[in-house]
């Protein structure tokens, strides 16, 4: 049986499919599709379409939509399990709590990435049908940056869901105030945001200079920082889960 190797991963994936959160996530991921349709209706030149898609992913999807998607999924994966008191069914087992965290995180990232990449691909196909300028690099950049951003944001929100009871509220404040506002416009804070490194990766993969990121970090730096953020958040989540008193 598929669930026998990664039981918590599959349990969490089924939790997502059964719950409301997946529908909200799909709606958020569909926003770029909606924008794409608007662009087709009001289309100008091929160049405008490519710019529109590239800029909307950089300005809207990475700093706002992806963290919101990660927040909704992460809070469902662990936060709901704490609040409805089903977590003891998983931790009262000969199963390391780090494994519990990793499988929950893995299911969150896989679900979030599949949905966002699928919708990103749909937008690319839609706009590609009327534009000869859309290339594989743009699609690759969308896929890689989406997956990395979802993973880093999910790790941060997994930790947050173990630290706070009102994780959605705290996460929204983080997304809207920190990622979308402060870290965007205050130069010093850029280097402390997940958004900045995800955008840097995105701009590097496109590679034609059409996406300008202030204080753009090197590709290797961006990848290392995102990996470190994930690792630190997952280790802290594990330590927190070890120390928590569970109902």
Partner 1 sequence: MSAPDVVQDQQPQQRVKSSSAAGGPSVKANNVSKWFGDVVAVSQVSFVVGPGVTALLGPNGSGKTTLLKMLTGLTGPSTGTVTINDQVVRLSTDIYRLIGMVPEQETIYPFLTGYEFLRLNAVMQHSHDIDGDVIRALDQVEMRDAADRRIGEYSKGMRQRIKMAAALVHDPPFLFMDEPLSGLDPRQRVRAIELIRQLGDQGRVVIVSSHLLHEVQRFAEQVLVIVNGHLAASGSFRAIRDKIDEHARQILIVCSAPRRLGASLLETDQAISVRLDHSRQGGLIVESNDVRQLYLSIPKLARTLDVTLYEIRSLDDSLASVFSYVTEAVR
Footprint of partner 1 (CB under 8 A): 1, 3-4, 7-8, 11, 14-15, 17-18, 84-86, 88-97, 242-243, 245-247
Residue among 91 and 189 whose Cβ is closer to partner 1: 91
Report the nearest approach of partner 1 to the CB of residue 113 (Å). Answer: 22
Asked if 156 contacts 194 with a C-beta cutoff of 8 angstroms, the reply is: yes
Instruction: Say how far apart CA 63 and CA 179 lie, in whole Å.
Output: 6
Residue pair 115/29 in contact by the 8 Å Cβ criterion: yes
**CB within 8 Å of 177: residues ≥ 6 apart:** none
Q: Hey, is 15 helix, strand or coil? A: helix
- Angstrom distance (rounded) from CA 11 to CA 93: 15
Q: How far is the CB of 147 from partner 1 (least distance, A)?
A: 27
* Beta carbon of residue 10, minimum distance to partner 1 (angstroms, whole number): 9
Q: 165 or 242: whose CB is closer to partner 1?
A: 242
Question: Smallest gap, in angstroms, from Cβ of residue 155 to partner 1?
Answer: 23
Tokens of 27: 């709606």
3-state secondary structure 132-150: CCCCHHHHHHHHHHHHHHH
DSSP of 101-126 = HHHHHHHHHHHHHHHHHHHHHHHHHH
**Cβ distance to partner 1 smaller for residue 72 or 226:** 72
Query: How far is it, in rounded angstroms, from Cα 71 to Cα 153?
Result: 7
Of 22 and 148, the one with the shorter C-beta distance to partner 1 is 22
User: Would you say 132 or 243 has its CB closer to partner 1?
Assistant: 243
The nearest distance, CB 75 to partner 1, in angstroms, is 17
Choose between 131 and 237: whose C-beta lies nearer to partner 1: 237
Minimum distance between the CB of residue 160 and partner 1, rounded to whole angstroms? Answer: 22
At closest approach, how far in Å is the CB of 99 from partner 1? 9
Q: What CA dihedral angle connects 65, 69, 74 and 75, to 10 degrees? A: 90
Q: Are 63 and 195 spatial neighbours (Cβ–Cβ below 8 Å)?
A: yes
In the bound state with partner 1, the residue whose beta carbon lies nearer, of 5 and 42, is: 5
């Amino acid at each position: 049986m598929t669930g026998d190797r990664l039981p918590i991963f599959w349990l969490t994936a089924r939790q997502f499919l059964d719950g409301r959160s997946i529908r909200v996530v799909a709606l958020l991921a569909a926003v770029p599709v909606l924008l794409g349709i608007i662009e087709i209706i009001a289309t100008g030149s091929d160049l405008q379409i490519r710019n529109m898609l590239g800029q909307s992913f950089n300005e809207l999807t990475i700093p706002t939509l992806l963290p919101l998607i990660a927040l909704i999924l992460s809070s469902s994966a662990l936060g709901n399990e704490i609040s409805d008191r089903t977590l003891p069914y998983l931790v009262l087992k000969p199963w390391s709590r780090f494994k519990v965290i990793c499988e929950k995180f893995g299911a969150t990232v896989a679900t979030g990435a599949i949905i966002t990449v699928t919708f990103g691909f749909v937008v690319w196909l839609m706009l590609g049908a009327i534009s000869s300028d859309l290339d594989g690099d743009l699609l690759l950049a969308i896929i890689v940056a989406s997956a990395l951003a979802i993973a880093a944001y999910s790790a941060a929100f997994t930790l947050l869901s173990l630290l706070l009871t009102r994780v959605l509220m705290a996460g929204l404040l983080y997304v809207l105030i920190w990622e979308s506002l402060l870290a965007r416009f205050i130069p010093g804070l850029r280097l402390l945001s997940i958004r900045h490194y995800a955008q840097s990766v995105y701009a590097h993969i496109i590679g034609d200079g059409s996406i300008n990121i202030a204080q753009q970090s090197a590709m290797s730096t961006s990848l290392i920082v995102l990996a470190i953020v994930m690792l630190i958040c997952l280790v802290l989540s594990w330590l927190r889960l070890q120390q928590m008193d569970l109902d």
